[in-house]
Amino acid sequence: MPINVAIVEDKNEIREGLTFLINSSEGYRCVGSFGNAEDGLAQIPQLKADVVLMDINLPKMNGIECVRKLKTKKSSIQFIMLTVYEDSERIFESLKAGASGYLLKRTPPAKILEWIGDAHRGGSPMSSEIARKVVQSFQKNTHASPDETAQLSARENEILTHLAKGFTYKEIGDQLFISSETVRSHLRRIYEKLQVHSRTEAVVKFLTR
Amino acid sequence: MPINVAIVEDKNEIREGLTFLINSSEGYRCVGSFGNAEDGLAQIPQLKADVVLMDINLPKMNGIECVRKLKTKKSSIQFIMLTVYEDSERIFESLKAGASGYLLKRTPPAKILEWIGDAHRGGSPMSSEIARKVVQSFQKNTHASPDETAQLSARENEILTHLAKGFTYKEIGDQLFISSETVRSHLRRIYEKLQVHSRTEAVVKFLTR
DNA sequence: TGCACGATCACACATTTGTGTGATTGTCTG
DNA sequence: CAGACAATCACACAAATGTGTGATCGTGCA
């Protein structure tokens, strides 16, 4: 059973090149190719596609929007963005929309087949430049500051976790089977350690740590 | 100028295998190999290493901790985790610690050289199984909920941004040149739209949106 | 054995917040 | 032009929060 691939790409030359590449390779079959997002959106759900190669820059609806819509209809399809854009914004938007891979068009054709297989097996093929951008956002969102939350005891962390869900002292106390006064005691220490003076500040430090 | 590589790996066989692989390849040179994190931590800063291959499971200090410490000392070195662990927790911890790549040990040796080059050129080599885990966390953290924060007006967003920094009503008013009463008015509408009843809940929705 | 420290609880008081009930002004749109 | 709506401000009162100043109990460690 070959891997069924569909293509959405507006440049004829590239689209035909990819179609030829896929059809002439053992184990791969191109089951459809479209020059715009609208056609792809209408036809792809009927095809037995396993993997879709999606260009981002398309005439009307862009490829990211197209993935978003298709993914909600047929979540089993794996989408690989195939594009020239290297900026973080487009990468993240694509991944959020449900794409599992993101490749630059300058990827050598031979590699593309490998990536398609990867995606089909549940991997997330990414050019390593792209992966770096993703990793960086990861590092920014998590690492960054000295992280004072590290000095908190297990119990204090537990309290803070509940605080970060918006519960009042009383509610937290009820859930942890302690009095609200105790919760306040813990909070006092937490504020001291985090050097803050309100729930909100504490929660911000906790969530963005 | 070859790429200088150092290795931290406790299994003699693997360490020697990697050393041989690197030294027998054009353009690569192994400038050091260590059987534990402590030795690596002490020696690597003196070596002119470009890329370090780091095992995670080491006798005393683990590889993630070792990367964290080395990265603060010599941030120009690129670290690639080379391990058997495939669980999200270790992957994320490594990336947060400053690793730029994460490869599974079952990666074919030939590929490893390619990955080292990738890392050296500023990429983030990752086995596609690993990339998938990273992408998934990305999708979870961003996508997900209906995002009620979308309905907020520009001004309301501004207020919320300040609120999320932990300022009191008075402080926010001063910064935006409006009275604290007005801030309270805005907050009232914000709470309504977000369906919450406290600053903390609002901030949580805002930060995790 | 003694002491530091985390976890628990209590009371008091000032401040901040959440919310009900208003009002005024400007802008945009059908 | 009327009506919707965002932005501004005011007053009042109850509830929640922040903080000072205590106490008790258990566990680990020097």
The spacing between the Cα labelled CA in B147 and the C1' in D4, in angstroms, equals 25
Give the pLDDT confidence score for residue A68 in this predicted structure. Answer: 85
pLDDT tens-digit readout, B131-154: 877 777 766 655 445 566 667 888
* Nucleotides in chain C near protein beta carbons (<7 Å): 6-12, 16-23
pLDDT tens-digit readout, A40-88: 888 898 998 999 999 988 887 788 888 888 888 888 899 999 888 777 7
Q: Cβ–Cβ of B125/A124 closer than 8 Å?
A: no
Residue matched to tokens 């805002």: B206
| Residue A115 CA, distance from chain mean position | 17
Position with higher pLDDT, A112 vs B89: A112
Q: Are A167 and A154 in contact (CB under 8 A)?
A: no
Can you tell me the distance from the alpha carbon of B203 to that of A206, in angstroms, rounded to the nearest whole number?
A: 12
Which residues of B in 164-183 have their CB below 7 Å from strand C's atoms? Answer: 168-170
Position with higher pLDDT, A188 vs B208: A188
CA distances from B18 to B2, B7, B108, B114, B127 (A): 16, 8, 11, 13, 18
Can you tell me the distance from the alpha carbon of B108 to that of B170, in angstroms, rounded to the nearest whole number?
A: 61
The spacing between the Cα labelled CA in B184 and the C1' in C22, in angstroms, equals 14
Give the pLDDT confidence score for residue A135 in this predicted structure. Answer: 73
Residue A155 has pLDDT above 50, yes or no: yes
Amino acid symbol at A153:
S
Nearest-CA residue to the C1' of D6?
A: B153
pLDDT tens-digit readout, B6-15: 999 988 898 9
Q: What is the mean pLDDT of chain B?
A: 85
Q: Does A207 touch chain B (CB under 8 A)?
A: yes
For residue A165, give the 3-state DSSP assignment: coil
Task: Report angle CA B117, B121, B126 to the nearest 5 degrees.
Answer: 65
Mean pLDDT of A143-157: 69
What is the distance in angstroms between the Cα of A5 and the nearest Cα belonging to chain B? 19
pLDDT lower than 70: segments of chain B: 138-150, 209
Name the token pair of A134.
């993703």
Task: Establish whether the CB of A156 is closer than 7 Å to any nucleic acid atom in strand C.
Answer: yes
Q: Are A51 and A80 in contact (CB under 8 A)?
A: yes
For residue B209, give the 3-state DSSP assignment: coil
Q: Which residue of A has its CA nearest to B144?
A: A96
Q: Cβ–Cβ of A168/B98 closer than 8 Å?
A: no
Task: Establish whether the CB of A204 is closer than 7 Å to any nucleic acid atom in strand C.
Answer: no
Q: Which has the minimum average pLDDT: A95-104, A129-138, A184-193, B118-127?
A: A129-138
Give the pLDDT confidence score for residue A38 in this predicted structure. Answer: 85
Give the pLDDT confidence score for residue B143 in this predicted structure. Answer: 42
Length of chain B equals 209
Residue A83 makes CB contacts below 8 A (sequence gap 6+) with A55, A56, A57, A63, A90, A102, A103, A104, A105
Name the token pair of A119.
């995606």
Q: Cβ–Cβ of B196/A124 closer than 8 Å?
A: no
Residue matched to tokens 């960054």: A144
Can you tell me the distance from the alpha carbon of A67 to that of A6, in angstroms, rounded to the nearest whole number?
A: 13
pLDDT tens-digit readout, A6-29: 999 988 888 999 999 999 999 999
pLDDT tens-digit readout, B69-87: 888 888 889 999 988 877 7
Q: Cβ–Cβ of B135/A166 closer than 8 Å?
A: no
Can you tell me the distance from the alpha carbon of A141 to that of A128, in angstroms, rounded to the nearest whole number?
A: 20
Can you tell me the distance from the alpha carbon of B70 to that of B74, in angstroms, rounded to the nearest whole number?
A: 6
Task: Establish whether the CB of B186 is closer than 7 Å to any nucleic acid atom in strand C.
Answer: no
pTM score over 0.75: no
Long-range own/partner contacts, residues A108-116 (CB < 8 A, 24 or more apart) = A109/A17, A109/A21, A112/A18, A112/A21, A112/A53, A112/A82, A113/A21, A113/A22, A113/A25, A113/A28, A115/A80, A115/B128, A116/A3, A116/A5, A116/A22, A116/A28, A116/A51, A116/A53, A116/A80
* Nucleotides in chain D near protein beta carbons (<7 Å): 6-12, 16-23
Give the pLDDT confidence score for residue A143 in this predicted structure. Answer: 43
Q: Cβ–Cβ of B95/A139 closer than 8 Å?
A: yes
A72 CB-contact burial (10 Å; exposed 0-12 / middle 13-18 / buried 19+)? exposed
Angle of helix B154-163 relative to helix B180-194, nearest 10 degrees, comes to 100
